[in-house]
Structure 1
Amino acid sequence: MDSTEWKIGQYPLHVLVLAADVKGVAVPVYFRIYSHKGVLSEKERINFIRKSLSVIDLRGKLLIADREFIGKEWFAFLNTNQIGFLIRLRKGIYQQWIDLEEKQYDKLQKRVFKKGYAHTDFTLDKQRYRLEVYRNENHNEKEPLVYLLTNRLRKKRIGKQYRKRWKIEYCFKHLKTNGFNLEQVAFQDTNKIRLLISFVIVAYILALEQGILQEKHNPVRHIRSAGGKKYRSVSVFRDGLQKLKEKLTCLVDFREYLLKRFPKKSTIFKIV
C-alpha cells in the first residue's frame, strides 16, 4: 500500500493504491483519488481500507506501508479487521509509543549495529506489537537504522518482507512515466481521470500477464551485476507490453485477444 502524487492535467493529485504481490510484481487491486495535498489522515486511510474490503478479503494478509501510514487509531483498525501489517516508523517516533528506558534503547541499537538486527515486543492501547530494527542496507548516514512496526508476533524477522514495498514504486513508475505516461494527459475532470487510471491499470495487468506467460515459454536474457546478482535485461512489464503492442494493432485485435483470455460474459466487454 502506498500513495503517490501524480500531476495529471494542470494540478497534482494524491492517488492511494492498494496492490497485491503477484509473482514478484505489484498488481493494483484498489485505488482512490484525493484532490488535497499532504499526508492522508487516519480517517481517510481507514475509510479507504474499509471500502477495499468489499473488493478483496484482507484478513490474514500482510499490509506493507511506508512511514506516512502510522497512527494508533489506524493500527487498532487493522487489528480489529485481522489485517497483519508491517510499517516503517519515522525516526524517533517509536520512542513516543514504546515505554523503554534510555539504557534499553542504547542496548537495542548496539545489538543492531553489531548483529544487523534486534527486536522488542511491547503493548500499546492493550494491543501487542513488535518493533524490529535493522541496519540500513542503503548505508544512509542520516538513518543508519530502519525501524519497523508489526502486529505479526509469531513470525521471526518479518521485517525482511518490507523490501517488497519497492515493487509498488516500480508500478507507479510504469503507470506515470515509463510505460503509459499518465502524467502527460491533460484531463482536469476527476471522474475522467479516475476512469482513465482504471483503463490503464487493466492494460497494465494484461501486460504483466503477457510478460509472465512469455517468461514460461521464452525467457529473457539475464545480466549479472558486479556484485554477482542476476537481473532481467527487460522487466516482466516491459516485455509483456512489447508483445501486446506487436499483437494488438487495432481495436478488433484487442477484442479478439480479450475473447480468448476471458469469458464472453466478462464485464470488461461492456466497456470495450
Structure 2
Amino acid sequence: MELSDGLRVILKGHLGWGKCRLDCFAGMLLALVRLKRMNLTQLALAFASQAGQKSRYRRLQRFFQEVVFDYDAIARLIMQLFDFYSKSYYLTLDRTNWKWGKKNLNILTLGVVYKGTAIPVYWLVLNKQGNSNQRERIALLQRFIARFGRQGIFGILGDREFIGDQWWQWLSDQGIPYLIRMKENQLLTAHQGHERPVRSLFADLEVGKSRLLRKRRRIGEQWVYLSGMKLDSGELLILAGNQRFSQPLEIYGLRWEIENLFQCLKGRGFHLEEMRMTRYFRIKKVMALLAIAFCWAHKTGEWKHQVRPLKMKKHGRPEQSLFRYGLDYLTDSLLHGFQKIADKFRLLVLFLCPPGMIVVDGQNPEIIALKT
C-alpha cells in the first residue's frame, strides 16, 4: 500500500469525502511536505499524477473552489491526534496577517498550548484589516465549547488586542479563566470614580521586577486581578485576569507559543505568505490543509525526539523545534525514499491515527483494517 493510500484510508473516517477528493487532498498534503511551499503552482509540480502540469494545477484550483469542508470534523481529528480529550490545557488566541498586492489577509486562530507551540483547532478568516472584534472572538470560542466542552480549559491567553467588556464578561459567564495583556494607558477606575492609567500601579518597578496586586481593580465594567513586570526594554507587561493566578507572568509566557505556530506556517515551515488566494472561503480551506500537515510534522518530531533526542544548546533550548525536526524527516523520506518500508506505515499508525484504530501486520507491514 502506498503512503497516499494509507492517508486516504485514515482521512476518510474523518472527512467523509469520496475517493477522488480524498486522493486530491492526500496528494496535496504529500506535495506540501515535499516542497514546504503553500503555492498551487509549485504544489502542482510535486502532485503525483499522470496528467499534465496544467491539468494538475486546474484540479487543485477546482478542489479549493468546490469541495465543502467540515471544520468541526477537522477539529475533532486534531484534538484526537494529540489526545486532548483526556487532558487539560490552555487556549491561546491571536491573528496572523500579511498583504498580497492590495489585499489584506488576516486569520484569527484559536490553538491549544502544547510543547512549545500551539496546535490550531479553529480559525476565522477576517474579511478586513486590523483587529478582531468581540463578536468574532466569542463566536470562535463558542464553536470550540460546543464541540469539546469547557471542562478541559485551564484558561485562555491573549495579547493586548483581546480586551473588551463584552468579551471579558462572556468568558466569566462561561466560567473560563482568562489572562490578557493590557495597554499601559488603559484606564482603570480608582476611588470616587476617578480614572487613571493602569501603568500608574507599576510605574515604580525596576527592570526585571514584578508585582501581583492582591485586590481587584475595575477596568471598564469588569473587576480583574492585575499583575505587572518591567521588561528589559523599559516597557511594562501588565496582565488582567478574572481570577487569581499563582504565577500569572509565567503562565502568560505560554501565549508566545502561538507565535511559534505562525512561524511554522510561514517562513520556518510552509511559507503560507506564498499563497496567491484572496477569497475568504478558499483561504479557510488552505488553513485546514496546513493544520493537518503541521500536526503530522509535529507528531513525527515528537517520535523522532524519543528515538534520537535533539541536542540542547547553551541557552537551554533544543537545536530545532519538534515541528521542524519532524518536517525535515518527512521531507527527506518523501524525496529520497524511506529507509525501511515499515517506516512508511509507522508514520501513518503513530501520527495520523489515535491508538487502537489501526491493525498492522508486523511481518508484511501494511494497513489491514481500520477499527470503528
Closer, same or farther: CA 6–52 of 1 in aligned 2, 3 Å = farther
Equivalent pair of 1:8/1:182 in contact (CA under 8 Å): no
Q: Which residue of 2 aligns with 1:207?
A: 297
CA shift, 1:117, in A, is 2.0
> Does residue 238 of structure 1 match 2:324?
yes
TM-score in terms of structure 2 length: 0.61
Structure 2 counterpart of 1:192, from 278, 282, 306: 282
Structure 1 counterpart of 2:233, from 140, 146, 150: 140
The C-alpha deviation readout for 1:28-77, integer Å capped at 9, x for no partner, is 11111111112111122222221222233334421110001001111000
Determine the C-alpha separation between the residues in 1 that align with 2:183 and 2:200: 20
Closer, same or farther: CA 219–45 of 1 in aligned 2, 3 Å = same
Determine the C-alpha separation between the residues in 2 that align with 1:129 and 1:34: 29
Over the aligned positions, Cα root-mean-square deviation in angstroms equals: 3.1
**Identity, % of aligned pairs?**
25
Unpaired runs of 5+ in structure 1?
Answer: 265-272
> Does residue 168 of structure 1 match 2:258?
yes
Structure 2 counterpart of 1:47, from 139, 152, 168: 139
Closer, same or farther: CA 8–198 of 1 in aligned 2, 3 Å = farther
Closer, same or farther: CA 184–104 of 1 in aligned 2, 3 Å = closer
Determine the C-alpha separation between the residues in 1 that align with 2:148 and 2:101: 31
Determine the C-alpha separation between the residues in 2 that align with 1:170 and 1:13: 19
Q: Which residue of 1 aligns with 2:119?
A: 27
SS of residue matched to 1:76: helix
Q: Which residue of 2 aligns with 1:158?
A: 248
CA shift, 1:81, in A, is 0.8
Closer, same or farther: CA 187–176 of 1 in aligned 2, 3 Å = same
Determine the C-alpha separation between the residues in 1 that align with 2:197 and 2:222: 21
Q: Which residue of 1 aligns with 2:334?
A: 248
Equivalent pair of 1:9/1:185 in contact (CA under 8 Å): no
Equivalent pair of 2:109/2:123 in contact (CA under 8 Å): yes
Closer, same or farther: CA 248–156 of 1 in aligned 2, 3 Å = same
Unpaired runs of 5+ in structure 2?
Answer: 1-92, 359-372
The C-alpha deviation readout for 1:139-167, integer Å capped at 9, x for no partner, is 223x2x211001122x3232321111111
Determine the C-alpha separation between the residues in 1 that align with 2:125 and 2:199: 42
TM-score in terms of structure 1 length: 0.81
The C-alpha deviation readout for 1:197-253, integer Å capped at 9, x for no partner, is 1011101011111111111120122211xxxx3221122111110111133359xx9
Equivalent pair of 2:123/2:284 in contact (CA under 8 Å): no
Determine the C-alpha separation between the residues in 1 that align with 2:197 and 2:272: 49
SS of residue matched to 2:184: coil
> Does residue 74 of structure 1 match 2:192?
no
Aligned residue pairs, count = 253
Max Rg structure:
2
Determine the C-alpha separation between the residues in 2 that align with 1:190 and 1:103: 41
Determine the C-alpha separation between the residues in 2 that align with 1:260 and 1:42: 39
Equivalent pair of 1:86/1:159 in contact (CA under 8 Å): no
Higher relative contact order (CA 8 A, sep 6+): 2
Closer, same or farther: CA 99–233 of 1 in aligned 2, 3 Å = same
CA shift, 1:10, in A, is 6.2
Equivalent pair of 2:185/2:197 in contact (CA under 8 Å): no
Structure 2 counterpart of 1:64, from 115, 138, 157: 157
Q: Which residue of 1 aligns with 2:307?
A: 217
Equivalent pair of 2:188/2:217 in contact (CA under 8 Å): no
Q: Which residue of 2 aligns with 1:121?
A: 216
SS of residue matched to 1:204: helix
Determine the C-alpha separation between the residues in 2 that align with 1:107 and 1:40: 28
Structure 2 counterpart of 1:97, from 179, 184, 188: 188
